[in-house]
Amino acid sequence: MSNNNRELTGKEKRQIKKLITSLCASYDKEYGCLPLDCDCPMFGICYTNSGLCSYFRESVLPAEPELQAVFESQPLSVCKECGKHFSKDGKRIYCSEKCAEEARRRQTAARVRKHREKHS
């Protein structure tokens, strides 16, 4: 669950409804939630600390990383190298080892260049 327990914005509620109506395999426009045989309980969700439908959390929500970050305990961070969003855990600032290696290579080149300029 989220560390910042807050009310969802209208935009976030609309995004949830759009995801359910377009991507949820358990939802039918005529019958609602098929496994529960009622309206989808996700339509009434109002707070970030609310319990989510397990199918919605695992299969539908990953389609919207920004919305997923609202409900996860770990916020999304932006990779310093490529700009891609990734789930931040610990002190990581790069999304992958490839980005970290590329940044290390550029930093080493800059350090060596500065050293050469200083000693020439």
Question: Model confidence over 32-58: pLDDT tens digits?
Answer: 888 887 888 777 777 766 777 878 888
Question: Is residue 112 over pLDDT 90?
Answer: yes
Give the residue-averaged pLDDT of 21-28.
Answer: 83
Share of the chain above pLDDT 90, in %: 17
CB 54 within 8 A of CB 41: no
Question: Is residue 8 over pLDDT 60?
Answer: yes
Per the DSSP assignment, residues forming a β-bridge with 47 are 7
Q: What is the pLDDT of residues 48-91, one digit of tens each?
A: 667 778 788 888 888 887 777 777 766 677 888 888 877 777 78
What's the pTM? 0.54
CB 26 within 8 A of CB 34: yes
